[in-house]
């Protein structure tokens, strides 16, 4: 468990060192961060008495915060090189995509009309579950055939 925090933090702060890719380091950090607490739980034989139970509880809280941190890390939009995308950059990308979509729909009015029908049918279907998954596959297939 000491290796989990110490090595990952050291590698993260030392930019000049060639200790592998950052994604590999993160995977190692996640692996050791899950295996270490599991070993602690096995070591306690799932019995919690005294100070050891408080430490195990804190370990579980830390692992839980790691899951939350990983979720937040993946929720933030990033560029392919890992740099966080700023809001104005996202707005610029959206604007350029809207302009490209407008040009495409003006160049191919029949395909654009077919796309609108597909989207309207998909919006009317709605829902969750296996039917929605099949509906999603069908609509993707229809999109590919229209383009």
State the DSSP string of 33-72: HHHHHHHHHHHTTT---HHHHHHHHHHHHHHHHHHHHHHH
Q: How large is the average pLDDT for residues 39-62? A: 82
Pick from 61, 10, 66, 9: nearest CA to 40: 61
- Give the domain range for residue 135: 102-146
Q: Is 68 or 83 the better-scoring residue by pLDDT?
A: 68
Q: How large is the average pLDDT for residues 33-62? A: 82
pLDDT at 102 over 80: yes
User: Does 67 share its domain with 11?
Assistant: yes
pLDDT at 17 over 80: no
Q: How large is the average pLDDT for residues 95-120? A: 84
Q: Is residue 13 in some structural domain?
A: yes
User: Does 58 share its domain with 108?
Assistant: no
What is the number of domains present in the chain? Answer: 2
Q: How large is the average pLDDT for residues 22-42? A: 81
The proportion of the chain whose per-residue pLDDT surpasses 90, expressed as a percent, equals 2
User: Does 58 share its domain with 110?
Assistant: no
Reported confidence tier of residue 63, pLDDT bands at 50, 70, 90: confident
Q: Is residue 92 in some structural domain?
A: no
């Amino acid at each position: 468990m000491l290796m989990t925090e110490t090595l990952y933090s050291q590698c993260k702060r030392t930019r000049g060192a060639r200790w592998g890719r950052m994604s590999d380091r993160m995977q190692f950090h996640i692996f050791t961060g899950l295996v270490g607490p599991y070993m602690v739980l096995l070591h306690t034989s799932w019995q919690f008495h005294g100070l050891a139970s408080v430490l195990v509880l804190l370990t579980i809280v830390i692992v839980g915060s790691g899951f939350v941190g990983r979720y937040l890390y993946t929720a933030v939009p990033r560029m392919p090189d890992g740099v966080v995308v700023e809001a104005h950059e996202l707005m610029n990308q959206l604007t350029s995509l809207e302009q490209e979509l407008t040009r495409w729909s003006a160049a191919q009015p029949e395909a654009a009309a077919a796309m609108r029908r597909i989207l309207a049918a998909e919006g009317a279907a709605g829902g969750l579950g296996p039917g929605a998954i099949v509906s999603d596959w069908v609509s993707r297939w229809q999109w590919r055939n229209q383009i």
